[in-house]
Chain A
Amino acid sequence: MATTNVTSEVIGTVWKVEKAKGDAVEEGDLIMILESMKMEIPVEAPVTGTLSEIKVAPDDSVEEDQILCLIES
Chain B
Amino acid sequence: MSIAKVFIANRGEIACRIIRSCRALDIKTVAVFSEADADALHVSEASHSLEIGPAPVAKSYLNQDALLMALRVSGADAVHPGYGFLAENAGFAAAVENMGRIWIGPQPQTIEAMGDKERAREIARAAGIPVVPGSRRFSPGDTAGLAATGEEVGYPLLVKAAAGGGGIGMRLVDDPENLQAQVETTQSLAERSFGDGTVYLERFIAHARHIEVQVFGFGDGRGVHYFDRDCSVQRRFQKVVEEAPAPGLAAETRASLCAAALALVAHVNYRGAGTVEFIYDRQAEVFYFLEMNTRIQVEHAVTEMITGADLVAAQIELAAGNLVLPEQGDISTDGHAIECRIYAERPEKKFLPSPGELKRFDFPEESAGLRIDTGLRQGDRITPYYDPMIAKVITRGQNRKDAIAHMVQALDEIEIEGVSTNLEFLGQVLRDRVFCEDLATTRYVDEGSYRLEASGVS
Instruction: Tell me the A residues contacting B by CB distance below 8 Å.
Output: 9-13, 35-39, 41, 61
Chain B residue, CB-CB nearest to A12: B384
Task: With both chains docked as a complex, state the minimum distance between the C-beta of A1 and any C-beta of chain B, in angstroms.
Answer: 30
Contact across chains for A36 and B384 when beta carbons are under 8 A apart: yes
- Tell me the residues in window 331-364 of chain B with beta carbons closer than 8 Å to chain A beta carbons: 344-345, 349, 352-356
**Bound: A71/B236 CA distance, A:** 30
When distances are taken between beta carbons in the complex, the residues of chain A under 8 Å from B344 are 37
When distances are taken between beta carbons in the complex, the residues of chain A under 8 Å from B388 are 37-39
**Bound: A39/B238 CA distance, A:** 11
Chain B residue, CB-CB nearest to A40: B166
Chain A residue, CB-CB nearest to B355: A11
- Of the candidates A13, A37, A41, the one whose C-beta lies within 8 Å of that of B386 is A37
Q: Tell yes or no: B424 within 8 A of A by CB.
A: no
**Bound: A22/B345 CA distance, A:** 34
- Of the candidates A10, A13, A35, A61, the one whose C-beta lies within 8 Å of that of B352 is A10
Contact across chains for B387 and A37 when beta carbons are under 8 A apart: yes
When distances are taken between beta carbons in the complex, the residues of chain B under 8 Å from A38 are 386-388
14 A-B pairs, CB-CB below 8 angstroms?
Answer: A9-B352, A10-B352, A11-B356, A11-B384, A12-B353, A12-B384, A36-B353, A36-B355, A36-B384, A37-B345, A37-B353, A37-B385, A37-B386, A61-B384
- Tell me the residues in window 27-41 of chain B with beta carbons closer than 8 Å to chain A beta carbons: none
Chain B residue, CB-CB nearest to A13: B384
Chain B residue, CB-CB nearest to A59: B56
- Tell me the residues in window 352-394 of chain B with beta carbons closer than 8 Å to chain A beta carbons: 352-356, 384-388
When distances are taken between beta carbons in the complex, the residues of chain B under 8 Å from A36 are 352-353, 355, 384
Contact across chains for A37 and B355 when beta carbons are under 8 A apart: yes
**Bound: A36/B356 CA distance, A:** 12
Task: With both chains docked as a complex, state the minimum distance between the C-beta of A8 and any C-beta of chain B, in angstroms.
Answer: 10
Contact across chains for B355 and A41 when beta carbons are under 8 A apart: no
Task: With both chains docked as a complex, state the minimum distance between the C-beta of B343 and any C-beta of chain A, in angstroms.
Answer: 9
When distances are taken between beta carbons in the complex, the residues of chain B under 8 Å from A61 are 384
- Of the candidates A9, A11, A39, the one whose C-beta lies within 8 Å of that of B236 is A39
When distances are taken between beta carbons in the complex, the residues of chain A under 8 Å from B387 are 37-38
Chain B residue, CB-CB nearest to A41: B352
Please give me the 10 A-B residue pairs with the lowest Cβ-Cβ distance, nearest first: A37-B353, A37-B388, A36-B384, A12-B384, A36-B353, A11-B355, A38-B387, A11-B384, A10-B352, A37-B384
**Bound: A36/B353 CA distance, A:** 7
**Bound: A54/B386 CA distance, A:** 26
Besides A12-B355, A12-B384, A36-B384, 4 other A-B contacts (C-beta < 8 A) = A9-B352, A37-B355, A37-B386, A37-B388
**Bound: A37/B381 CA distance, A:** 13
**Bound: A13/B56 CA distance, A:** 10
When distances are taken between beta carbons in the complex, the residues of chain B under 8 Å from A39 are 236, 352-353, 388
When distances are taken between beta carbons in the complex, the residues of chain B under 8 Å from A11 are 355-356, 384
Task: With both chains docked as a complex, state the minimum distance between the C-beta of A26 and any C-beta of chain B, in angstroms.
Answer: 16
**Bound: A44/B344 CA distance, A:** 24
**Bound: A9/B353 CA distance, A:** 10
When distances are taken between beta carbons in the complex, the residues of chain B under 8 Å from A10 are 352-355, 384
**Bound: A36/B387 CA distance, A:** 8
**Bound: A36/B352 CA distance, A:** 9
**Bound: A9/B385 CA distance, A:** 16
**Bound: A61/B36 CA distance, A:** 14
**Bound: A37/B236 CA distance, A:** 13
When distances are taken between beta carbons in the complex, the residues of chain A under 8 Å from B236 are 39
Contact bitstring B235-257, A, C-beta under 8 A = 1, else 0: 01000000000000000000000
